Amino acid sequence: MIRIFKIALRNLMRYKRRTLLTSLLITMGVLCVILFSGLSGSFKGMMIGQITDANLAQIQIHKKGYVSSMDSIPLNLNLNKKGYAKIEDVLKSNPAVQAWAPRIKLGAMLSNYSETTNIRLNAIDPEKEVKVCPAVSDRMAFVEKDTREKLIRPGEVIIPDKLAKGMKIKAGDSVVLVANNKDGSVNGLNFTVAGITETVVGPQGKEGYMHIKDARALLRMEKPEITEVAVRLKNFDTLTPAYKKLKAALAQFKNKKGKPAFEIHTWEKLSPFYNIAKMIDLMSASMKVIMVSIVLISILNVMIMSVYERVREIGAMSAIGTTPGKIMALFLAEGITLGLISIVAGNIIGLAGIFILNIYKIEFAFGRMDNLLLAPSVSFVELFWLSVIVLSVSVFASLQPAWKASKMEPTDALGHV
């Protein structure tokens, strides 16, 4: 077998320029796929990280029906203490869960004493929230930047940057929040602006923050209620199986009508970025299809040429006693060798490209988020599968010419001019 590959390599080297050009073309295809996968994967990973670690969390659990009407921030779909306790029991019993945090979502009127506007607020338990969204403070600017121990304290509010700019509010200013509770009565409280937060993509990315105790006071909750439970997993890669287990566990709880009491969603259902992520995956798949086409056409072309140029040689091989199977193996080996050379070259140059991109990081902005740095990476599993695809296509492209060579009648081949 080694001898066959040795002969195949020599046959490829017979037409150095053609082999080099074809190999270069396939190498470029592999390189493009590696760089695109690395960059798009990095972009996707960063954006998902931003969304889940800074604001949304990986999984959210609500009272059934909340998500479909979340734009109106309905207070009548909050979870009571008993419901929250049931959810906590489910989360505690699941080993994949790392942390969870209760939240109250509410809409309010924000006044700086001269202007008033609407604001969406996310009322959090800061100690629990940072465990679920560890990057939540990364996009916030505080008055006491370096000395601040807690994300937010009672009596404080953090407001979105665009809203702060529009209303000329700075950190440290006093504001009034006025909100309707679920019975329709209005209440207002004074707050100090502790910080300004940058917005992230999605409807939940434009929310301000307040302490969960303040929200209960503002909404005059007689008994503690929450809107949602944000969940973080120990390993993000286990999102789907963990979600399925949690969903199954929560499904056992029914409301008075006998229907499921809770609903659970991953970030994918809650963020519009999921559609962008799917588009990225589609583009990545398209790149692979283009690469497969390049490999297929290039190798098919080279191998067809190779067979037509060596008809007499094939005749001699056959006459000497080389079986059709071995003739086929010889030409298949040529296609595989060409593919292998290109895979090795493509992988080496691709990894070098990724390395260089990591040295000179690409800075970009997405939506209202600036100064995002792309650090592309590509896994060995991905490189392995990419190589398997190229190799398989190389074999497939060589099959027809190799089969044709093996089927040549020796007398016709020897008499070929």
Interface positions with another protein (CB under 8 A): 3, 7, 10-11, 13-14, 312-313, 315-326, 409-411, 414
Cβ at position 2, least distance to another protein in Å? 10
Q: Which residue's entry shows tokens 């091989």?
A: 317
Nearer to another protein, 143 or 311 (CB): 311
Write the single-letter amino acid at 133: C
Instruction: Check residue 114 and report its DSSP letter.
Output: S
Cβ at position 201, least distance to another protein in Å? 59
Cβ at position 26, least distance to another protein in Å? 22
Dist. CA 376–CA 390, nearest whole Å: 22
Q: Are strands 186-197 and 174-180 parallel, antiparallel or unpaired?
A: antiparallel
Nearer to another protein, 123 or 317 (CB): 317
Nearer to another protein, 1 or 289 (CB): 1
Cβ at position 10, least distance to another protein in Å? 4
Instruction: Check residue 56 and report its DSSP letter.
Output: I
Sequence-ordered list of residues with C-beta below 8 angstroms from that of 294, at least 6 positions apart, any chain: 25, 26, 28, 29
Write the single-letter amino acid at 371: N
Cβ at position 340, least distance to another protein in Å? 18
Nearer to another protein, 241 or 415 (CB): 415
The DSSP string of 258-324 is SSBSEEEEEHHHH-THHHHHHHHHHHHHHHHHHHHHHHHHHHHHHHHHHHHHTHHHHHHHHHHT--H
- For the chain, how big is the Rg over CA atoms in Å? 31
Nearer to another protein, 76 or 323 (CB): 323
Of the candidates 81, 83, 96, the one whose C-alpha atom is nearest the C-alpha of residue 266 is 96
Nearer to another protein, 106 or 303 (CB): 303
Cβ at position 338, least distance to another protein in Å? 15
